Amino acid sequence: MKHITLALLASACVLTACKGNTDTKTTDTPTAATDARAANENAENLCLSSGPQTPRDISSKNGLNLADFAMAPAASELNLCNIHTHTNAEHKGPGFNLFVNDSDNGGYACNDTPNLSAEELAPYEGKASYEGVKPGDTIEVHWVHSSCDIEPGKGLGSCLSDSCENPLLRVEAQSFLVVNDDDAADFMDYTYGGSKGETVYQAKSLPKGTGTPVVFRGSTTGPSYTQSVCSPVKVTWSVRPSCQKLDIGSLHDWAESGNVFEETKSHGVRQLVTAPELLSPIK
C-alpha cells in the first residue's frame, strides 16, 4: 500500500521538475475551448472515479462531484511539508482571470498585469537562481500541509511517513504578480524558517490582505493531469481570491538560500477543470 501511495503521489508533476513558463501573453476573452483543453471532452471520457479535481474557477460554487472525504484541519494544526510555485495561476479567480494559453505553461495571469510600469517590468540584474519566472509573470504558490508527523522536504513524498500512508492534506494557495521592485512583498517572509513551532512545522507566515480564502475539496495539480487523466490524491484547498505583488529578487534569494524543498524553478500548470462532474460544490 505504501508503494502504491508513493507512486501516486510521485506522479503529481506539480512537485517535480516541470517546465516553467516564460511567456505572459494574455487575453481577457477566453472561449470555452481555450478555457481548458479538456472542455470539449465527452462525458464518457471523464475520469469520474477519481474524486473531485483541481484547479477550478473559484468564483463558481457549482459542482456535481459529491465525494465526501474528510476535510483537513486548518493549516496551523498541520505540518508544513512542501512549498513550490507554478508559473501562471492554475486556478481562475476574481483577481487572476486573464487567460494566458492552454499549454502546460499557460493558465491565468493577475488582472493588473497590463498596468505594470516600465520599472516594475525591468529585467532583473542580480544573480538569477530561480528559473522560469521573470518580472510581469504571475505565479501561484502552494504551501502543502500534512497530518503526518513529518519534517518539511522535497516533493509530495515528504508529506508521508511509514506510519502515515493516507494523510489529510491541505494546500494554502496564493497568486502573486512578480515585479522588479524591492518594495513589493518579500517571498522570504513566506518561506519555511528551518525550525518547528510549538507543535507543528509552519511557514514563517502566510499572505494576508488578499481576501477570504475559498475552501473546497479537490486533488493535486500539475500538467500531467487532464479531465480524462485525473489525480487520485485527495486535498483540501484554501485559495485566496486576489493577487499580491512580489519582488522577483526574493524568489532568487529563496533559491540561493538552499531551501529544504530543493526548489529552484517554477513548475507548469494543469489546465482548468470545467466539467461539473469533476468539481465539488463549494459551500
- List the chain domain ranges: 2-278
Label residue 257 by pLDDT band (50, 70, 90): very high
For the stretch 115-127, pLDDT in tens is 999 999 999 999 9
- Mean pLDDT of the residues in the chain: 88
- In this prediction, residue 183 carries a pLDDT of 98
Overall average pLDDT of the 15-19 stretch: 38
Phi, psi of 66 (to 5 degrees): -100, 15
CA distance 42 to 66: 20
Label residue 22 by pLDDT band (50, 70, 90): very low
- In this prediction, residue 195 carries a pLDDT of 83
- In this prediction, residue 8 carries a pLDDT of 44
Query: Is 113 within 8 Å of 26 (Cβ atoms)?
Result: yes
Overall average pLDDT of the 2-28 stretch: 43
Overall average pLDDT of the 253-263 stretch: 96
Overall average pLDDT of the 249-275 stretch: 97
- In this prediction, residue 19 carries a pLDDT of 40
Place of cell 481577457: 28
39-53, 156-170, 199-213, 267-281: least confidently modelled range: 39-53
In DSSP terms, 107 is beta-bridged to 101
Alpha carbon of 234 to those of 47, 166, 187: distances in Å?
14, 9, 27
Check whether 202 has a pLDDT greater than 50: yes
- In this prediction, residue 150 carries a pLDDT of 95
Check whether 38 has a pLDDT greater than 80: no
> Could you give the percent of the chain with pLDDT greater than 90?
80
Q: How far does CA 12 lie from the centroid of its chain?
A: 12
Residues shown for the chain: 283
Which of 206, 180, 204 lies closest to 192 in space, CA to CA? 204
For the chain, helix, strand, coil in percent to 5 are 15, 25, 60
Check whether 244 has a pLDDT greater than 60: yes
Phi, psi of 222 (to 5 degrees): 105, 155
Check whether 45 has a pLDDT greater than 60: yes
In DSSP terms, 108 is beta-bridged to 89, 99
- In this prediction, residue 44 carries a pLDDT of 54
C-alpha triplet 170, 32, 22: angle, nearest 5° = 65
30-39, 83-92, 236-245: least confidently modelled range: 30-39
pTM over 0.95, yes/no: no
Alpha carbon of 51 to those of 57, 58, 75, 93, 209: distances in Å?
17, 17, 22, 22, 31
Overall average pLDDT of the 50-73 stretch: 97
Check whether 211 has a pLDDT greater than 80: yes
Grid cell for residue 98: 486573464
Query: Is 240 within 8 Å of 57 (Cβ atoms)?
Result: no
Check whether 28 has a pLDDT greater than 70: no
